Structure 1
Amino acid sequence: MQTPETRPSTDVPAVAKAYNGVDRNAFVFGLNPQAELWNGRLAMIGFLAYLVWDLAGYSVLRDVLHFIGY
């Protein structure tokens, strides 16, 4: 039987830590790994916003294609 000293820790950290010990969710300005996470999150929000906008009947792509003659 395992004692508390030899049992693996099941504590979940309160903050998602990167390998260097920096919070991966922190907004840090500049070229760094956190920038990729924020870039992906904002891209997902933008894509979803465009889908909702398109479903509402306002399509930028359809208007552009109509303008150039397709």
Structure 2
Amino acid sequence: MTSETDSANPPEALADQTPSATTSDVPAFGWSGYAERVNGRFAMIGFVSVLLVEALSHDTFLHWAGLVP
């Protein structure tokens, strides 16, 4: 005898919901905690990259990219 929740989540579907290697969050699309954490990490990498460009070129990023004359 199975309950209604067991039939809604078959074992195959539950196997796809393995947590992340670094957190207990389940990777998902949309406004999830996991997506926001990944987005924040990419933003940090981008910010450090801009700082490195400015430090190595001795110029502002906007001028280096040609956005400001």
Task: Tell me the TM-score normalised to structure 1 length.
Answer: 0.48
Task: Tell me the TM-score normalised to structure 2 length.
Answer: 0.48
More helix by share: 2
